[in-house]
Structure 1
């Protein structure tokens, strides 16, 4: 009985494998992707406004990469009347305001324990930050 099962499985496997070789996928004709459309020759169109650079001449300066990135991310947009009015009323900030705020000679007003806790917080990226909820 064992041999009969093995022979039956072998014949069935051979029949299935022979069906695969003459199947639709292996013998079908595929189009040649390069013969479908004639390739146009690569030609650079002339631009008569461009002047070829002189040998050894410095490259034209169009701004730094950081400036180009900022302009791409935040393009110049028209401000609304409300925003323009708010900025006009706020006035101009001092140039070194961030340096003078931390100076011991600067007079500041005590805003409470929360402000002191924020100012006294250690510097970092905030990965070790914890929130304490009073009960």
Structure 2
């Protein structure tokens, strides 16, 4: 009787293994049925007309600069604290072309001395041989 019960349990286990209701999902994707997606192609815009030679530009340089600033920084008004900080820093007295005049030979600069030049001209290293000399 024990052999019969054992054989019946083994047979039922084998039969249940083939059923889909045991929690095992037999529906798997077919790895050979994969298709590549076509690359994205921008269709031509037939409404565009090439510019005529000698005609005025549609956008001026100032408009492009304004659009760039608008895209980067937005058009939100400045807060009261930001306005006060800018006024305290001298917003009205700042030279608009300061970046152009910095490299001018007539610009006065401060000589930082030989130590700064030595630091800048020092070869790059990993710091293993670095030493500090403290004055006594």
For normalisation by structure 1, the TM-score amounts to 0.34
For normalisation by structure 2, the TM-score amounts to 0.34
